[in-house]
Amino acid sequence: MRLRAARDDERGATLLLVIGFIVIVALMSSAVLGLLLTGTKSRVALDQARNREYSADGAVEHAIADVRANMQTHPFTPCPSAHIPYAKGALPNGQVDMQVDCTYDPWHTLSGFLQRNVVFVACAQQGGPQCGPGIISARVNFQSDDSAVATSITVSKTFIQTWSVNE
Amino acid sequence: MRAIRRTGAGETGTERGESLIEVIISMVVIGVVASAWFVTYSYETTGSTLNKHIAQSDTVLRSYAEATKTAVRNTCTPTNGGTPFTAQYTAPSGFNPPTTNDPTCPSSTTVVKKITLTVTFDGTQSRALQIDVRTP
């Protein structure tokens, strides 16, 4: 009877080991799959950030073109407005509506030549307020050989003086 | 007596080979589980490689976008709208050379042109990025 009891105690021991093995393997597999899923989710977030960045980039390009056109007839007030709105449909990747804050910042060289500079800051639309640091800030020079007091000018070329991606 | 013998024979008879059966069943279960884990691991490896290539494709697209903007800046003038430009960029191994849907200069200085850059890799995978370009 004692022998039988001992055998009964050992019965199923291998099964327990197998169940333990299965549990360990399942935990390892789920950890590995979790790692993979996390990587995929991070990638999606990074792609969205990149697309938003290039949307802001496109908004600044639009603003430069708009200011260039406006400056030819309004050389002293080249910004069409302080916060220029751009719908996401007009921008690359169509991520989010953007606004570009526009500030005319002219200054003269030592020889007295007028530098027609404009500062742009692009961010997601704020509904009125300024952008703050924004996604992209840029300082652009609009080259013109016309007189500083001319009321109508021709912009021959634009130069990017600074271009910063802030986030 | 017969009953006792039968019982005795029954005990030894039913337990005989029990360990062998347990071991065989355990090996089968372990084999199935190990196979499943191997398949999972293979998928994980494939997925990880794909993730790596997708991350690389982001770098490729960004680099190609900057090369494209440089090409536009160096090629396009207020008077040569429609002129083709060529972005100088070499894709890393495993990636096909990126393509541009319309590699020509914007029609005028006040027009911003939206172009789409596409990179393909791993045979069937592709990623795209839109950018705006403008004549300086």
Please check whether residue A2 lies inside any domain of the structure.
no
Q: What is the mean pLDDT of residues B42-68?
A: 89
pLDDT at A6: 53
Please name the member of B11, B130, B133 whose beta carbon is closest to the beta carbon of A4.
B11
Q: Which residues in chain A are closer than 8 Å to B14, comparing Cβ atoms?
A: none
Would you call B51 an interface residue with chain A, using a CB distance cutoff of 8 Å?
yes
Q: What is the pTM of this model?
A: 0.77
> Would you say how long chain A is, in residues?
167
- Residue A5 covered by a domain: no
In terms of C-beta density within 10 A (0-12 exposed, 13-18 middle, 19 or more buried), how is residue B93 classed? exposed
- CB-CB under 8 Å, B132 with A92: yes
φ, ψ for residue A4, nearest 5 deg: -65, -40
State which residue of chain A sits closest to B49, comparing Cα positions: A36
Per-residue confidence band for B7, with pLDDT thresholds at 50, 70 and 90: very low
The range of the structural domain enclosing residue A105 comes to: 13-165
Residues A147, B68: Cα–Cα separation, whole Å: 34
**Number of domains forming the structure of chain A:** 1
Q: Model confidence at B13, in pLDDT bands (50, 70, 90)?
A: low
* A113 vs A35, higher pLDDT: A113
In a domain, A56, yes or no: yes
Whether A8 is covered by a domain: the verdict is: no
- Asked if ipTM goes beyond 0.90, one says no
Query: Quick count: other Cβ atoms within 10 Å of Cβ A167?
Result: 11
Query: Is A61 an interface residue toward B (CB < 8 Å)?
Result: yes
- Give A21's pLDDT tier (boundaries 50, 70, 90): confident
Task: Tell me the residue length of chain B.
Answer: 136
Locate the chain A residue with the closest alpha carbon to B116.
A92
- Put simply, whether B117 touches A (Cβ < 8 Å) is no
B29 in contact with A at a CB cutoff of 8 Å? yes
Residue A145 maps to a domain: yes
Domain boundaries, chain B: 2-134
C-alpha A22: how far from chain center: 45
Minimal CA–CA distance to A148: which of A110, A106, A119, A120?
A106
Provide the residue type at A107 as one letter. W
